[in-house]
Amino acid sequence: GDSVTQMEGPVTLSEEAFLTINCTYTATGYPSLFWYVQYPGEGLQLLLKATKADDKGSNKGFEATYRKETTSFHLEKGSVQVSDSAVYFCALIPGGFKTIFGAGTRLFVKA
């Protein structure tokens, strides 16, 4: 069935370090891909999305490129801040409106 696999955390970085969180997926057809972020004590909110192959989603300095050949959607940011500390979820919609989530990756950024 459709699924999302993302790297286990926690990931601990120093401020201004480069961030990569890996995400791969299994789905038939052409899913839409998403990254959601959950700050402490809050629900999830959309960070970025991409709906077709080679699309790049971007927001708040974060980027991810839809790679169909490797079935991946890795999240990157060139310089993280303490305020980026959160849990990041990779997700897909295989078709329709049901969203499937990965397990989440917790990021800690130290000052």
Residue 98 in the binding site for other proteins (CB under 8 A): yes
Q: How many CB atoms lie within 10 A of CB 96?
A: 6
- Which residue of 21, 25, 27, 49 would you call a contact of other proteins, by CB under 8 A? 49
Residue 62 in the binding site for other proteins (CB under 8 A): no
15 to 44, contacts with other proteins by CB under 8 A? 32, 34, 36, 41-44
Helix, strand and coil percent figures for the chain, each rounded to 5: 5, 50, 45
Residue 64 in the binding site for other proteins (CB under 8 A): no
Total residues interacting with other proteins, rule: CB under 8 A: 24
Binding string to other proteins for residues 66 to 95, with x set by CB under 8 A, is what? -----------------------x---x-x
Give the tokens for residue 83: 């305020």
What SS3 state is found at 82?
helix
| H or E segment and range at residue 21 | strand 19-21
32 beta partners:
93
The footprint of other proteins (CB under 8 A) covers 4, 32, 34, 36, 41-46, 49, 51, 89, 93, 95-104
